[in-house]
């Protein structure tokens, strides 16, 4: 079964950055995009002593294994 994930343009751009190897820090400006990726099951939040409960985000196993589909025009449609 194919599941279509609708991501905002900001979340899609963040995802592309992360897939290109960019270690984009979590900031107030991109936190909602990271949360959107977490809701979609692509990433999950990691706690940090200084940064709190959403100090960083990592790919889920499914998110990493499906990384090509997430940036495919056919699978991800910005809303």
4 located within any domain: no
55 located within any domain: yes
76 located within any domain: no
Which band of pLDDT confidence, cut at 50, 70 and 90, is reported for residue 9? Answer: very high
State phi, psi for 43 to the nearest 5 degrees. -135, 170
Mean pLDDT of 10-36: 93
User: What tens digit of pLDDT does each residue of 57-73 get?
Assistant: 999 999 999 888 777 65
78 located within any domain: no
Exposure string over 53-79, b if 16+ CB within 10 A, otherwise e: eeebbebbeebeebeeebeeeeebeee
- Name the domain count of the chain: 1
3 located within any domain: no
Can you give the pLDDT at residue 69?
Answer: 79
77 located within any domain: no
60 located within any domain: yes
User: What tens digit of pLDDT does each residue of 28-67 get?
Assistant: 999 999 999 999 999 999 987 776 788 999 999 999 998 8
């Amino acid at each position: 079964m194919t599941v279509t994930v609708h991501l905002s343009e900001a979340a899609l751009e963040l995802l592309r950055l992360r897939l290109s190897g960019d270690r984009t820090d979590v900031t107030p400006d991109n936190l909602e995009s990271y949360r959107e990726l977490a809701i979609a099951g692509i990433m999950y939040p990691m706690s940090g002593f200084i940064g709190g409960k959403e100090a960083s985000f990592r790919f889920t196993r499914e998110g990493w294994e499906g990384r090509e589909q997430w940036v495919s025009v056919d699978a991800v449609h910005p809303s």
